A and B are shown apart, each in its own frame.
Chain A
């Protein structure tokens, strides 16, 4: 199919109005389905050796297949997963071919029976250490240059809007929080598992000073646990882990 700007623009308009995850996901799945792709998968990848992170993932693959994928550590075999780190434009992939190693072929045999035979994926660098992967997959998906270009734009609009929504940008009840440099620093260390005492040693301040900063952070986010405050700070990208 030829590149069709109207299809892209229609999605762009919906994405700009979407303020909830359900809205943006439904629109994204709708346009995928139109081109024969029954599944979408969106994950953030930090450390490639660890496989896709499931925390903020939107994956419509059958549960059985998702379970098999993580249980069998299929990311170590999946050639699509390996390609994501090397490519910055969308690419089609297919498990049809006779090429590839024996492991790859048997991986695709299983993936096909789960309804994930071919697809279109885009990797986007979203910070120094994180890449996001957006995929349309199915057994009957269309493959053309026009679609690849449309997907490039649609997936980019989709993922960036998804991030804004996940960060609570459109949550009207949300209180605007401003952390001081010291508070973010303390929370950053807390987020990677350091105790108040350890953070004190790292930053050269007393343990009670660290506790004081953490209590300010809790007060600012209006929550009673530091874990909760940390989760919010990560989701809104005040800190990165």
Chain B
């Protein structure tokens, strides 16, 4: 199940968030060797606040298999504070634009891509019901190229630059019902991906 965690239901997910920060440490610090401002065993930064929106995928074994984070661009976020060199002009900002970051799934799921597609589909669903029309992100050029190969409608925001040992680019994409339909197809689901729990009885 794919859960969305916002400032509103965050109190129901205290343990899950810790588990997610631990998984992020494993993936981004230990495995990808990113240099991040965090301390073992949790990978957390200055943007992991009540404003952040998280998507976490929990499987039948009750373990988090992957996650992703959305930050409001109306407030400081990665493109404004960490990677300003990636944007040629002012990074896109506004109430209807969120920036996605720290998206990943456990290595054993990367080849298949189904769980990652489910997470992305769920994030689109959240955007569509929250009036978020665009998503900005920083991505490795090789992955960016692979998305273009599948016909993704994405626009670059600045020059490719080297970050944590790989050449990355900042980009922006429209969130649309068509984009959601394509992601659901990749995720092999026909209906909503998202589970939004607000009351305690139904919490994970």
Contact = CB atoms under 8 A, between A and B. Distances in A.
Category for how many chain A residues contact B: 20 to 34
A153 B88 contact: no
Contacts of A124: 145
Given A126-B149, A149-B160, A9 B144 contact: no
Contact of B159 (A149, A156, A160): A149
A12 B149 contact: no
Contacts of A88: 141-142, 167
A156 B89 contact: no
Contact of A3 (B88, B141, B155): B88
Contacts of A156: 141, 144-145, 148
A160 B156 contact: no
B157 A160 contact: no
Interface string A119-130: 000001110000
B149 A3 contact: no
Given A3-B88, A124-B145, A153 B156 contact: yes
A156 B159 CA distance: 13
B156 A12 contact: yes
A152 B141 contact: yes
Given A153-B169, A156-B144, A3 B158 contact: yes
Nearest to B158: A5
Interface string A162-182: 011000010000000000000
Interface of B is mostly: mixed
A48 interface: no
A132 B189 CA distance: 33
Contact of B142 (A125, A164, A169): A125
A80 interface: no
Nearest to A5: B88
B151 interface: yes
Interface of B: 88-89, 141-142, 144-145, 148-149, 151, 153, 155-160, 167, 169
Q: Which 8 pairs from chain A and chain B are nearest by CB? A: A149-B159, A160-B148, A5-B88, A3-B159, A160-B149, A156-B145, A152-B160, A153-B156
Given A3-B88, A88-B142, A153-B159, 13 more contacts: A4-B88, A5-B88, A8-B156, A9-B156, A89-B141, A89-B160, A124-B145, A153-B160, A156-B141, A156-B144, A156-B145, A157-B148, A160-B148
8 contacts: A4-B88, A8-B156, A9-B156, A126-B149, A146-B159, A153-B159, A156-B145, A160-B149
